[in-house]
Amino acid sequence: MLRTIFHVDMDAFFASIEQRDCPDYRGKPLIVGAPPDQRGVVCAASYEARKFKVRSAMPSRTAHRLCPQGIFVRPRMDVYRAESEQIMRIFEEFTPQVERVSVDEAYLDMSAIIDEKSAPDTALESALPLAREIKRRILAERGLSASIGVAANKFLAKLGSDFQKPNGLTLIRESEKVAFLKPLSVRSIHGVGPVTADALEAKGLHTIGDIQNTALALEPIVGSWADTLRQRAFGVDARPVDTSRERKSVSAENTFLVDTEDRPILRSALAEMATDVAHSLEAHKSGALTLQVKVRYSDFKTLTRQIKLEEPIHTPRDIYRLACHLLATHRLVTRPLRLLGVGASMLVPVENVQPKQLRLPL
């Protein structure tokens, strides 16, 4: 069955909201995050700031060094979440088949309103007016721009939304998908992280086209994911749009621009991630009975440690405190970290969360 999938990705969402709400910021390099005179990281950067190579998760001091004229503002997560709800409502006016991926992106399955009898490329092309109308509505009603990828599956649609940012609209036709993918880096495949990418490149597989043409066995390189990787290389993805709001876990990660064991930087990053995880739990009206921390060192060795709780947690304070407890108990910060992450699982409805004293298991 041919699907018609949109992936809608808001452009520099946090920074764009700040520029919309404060006209003085428009056209200027805006950096959402901790001030440069404090330990902390960048949450988001406007496109003007990105020209100076400022990126999210970068230490604020580094961002200031790269972009001395940058304007730093504190994040307003409540505002961003409220804005996200307004945008998701616009999507749901076009189709009930909306999969919310994060506050600033979603998949839309438009198949039901496209002529199924049309040839594959014709069906996709007929969806373009709908994509343009979604972009127009977001701009007219919310004062923000979005980029949309249109394709027959989620993998290609997501690639498309990133292809011509900002304010892009990219259609990837079924008849052209293999050629479209061929020159792209293997790193553009969702699920191919730095370690996997390094392993593929060490075997001479630098582009998706290399994977399309290789006779090498991929199992020794990527294990059980080999079949999926080959399918992605040819633009095949059978995953449906998942409209369920139920989540089994939520997480947040921070990959540092420079490996660090600086405690203030790690604490600041951990606090922001704890807040992000708490906001995700709140959005899904859930608390968590298991908390996990993840660290990755300079040599890409990755460790995870978790703790099971007697009572569910859902506040930033409790998540942060337990994450610190796990890091300290297992002595995970004995050398510089490349990545730090926090995850919550074993989710239960928020109605079950009682204001009891948090108890750690013995």
Which pLDDT does position 1 carry in this prediction? 67
> Based on the domain organization, do 33 and 88 belong to the same domain?
no
Most confident of 74-83, 176-185, 286-295: 176-185
> Does residue 244 fall inside a structural domain?
no
Find the CATH number of the domain harbouring 93.
Answer: 3.30.70.270
Which pLDDT does position 191 carry in this prediction? 77
> Does residue 360 fall inside a structural domain?
no
pLDDT greater than 90 at residue 353 = no
Span 158-168, pLDDT tens digits: 999 999 999 99
> Based on the domain organization, do 191 and 269 belong to the same domain?
no
Span 259-280, pLDDT tens digits: 899 999 999 999 999 999 998 8
Mean pLDDT across the chain: 90
Domain that holds residue 287: 249-352
User: What is the mean pLDDT of the segment spanning 40-61?
Assistant: 89
Which pLDDT does position 359 carry in this prediction? 43
Which pLDDT does position 125 carry in this prediction? 95
Which pLDDT does position 98 carry in this prediction? 95
User: What is the mean pLDDT of the segment spanning 287-293?
Assistant: 91
> Mind telling me the catalytic residues?
105
State the angle between helix axes of 77-94 and 13-21 in degrees (0 to 180), rounded to the nearest 10: 100
Total domain count for the chain? Answer: 4
Tokens linked to 84: 């996200």
> Based on the domain organization, do 262 and 321 belong to the same domain?
yes
Find the CATH number of the domain harbouring 274.
Answer: 3.30.1490.100
> Based on the domain organization, do 58 and 23 belong to the same domain?
yes
> Based on the domain organization, do 85 and 34 belong to the same domain?
no
> Based on the domain organization, do 309 and 265 belong to the same domain?
yes
pLDDT greater than 60 at residue 28 = yes
Distance CA 158, CA 6 (A): 8
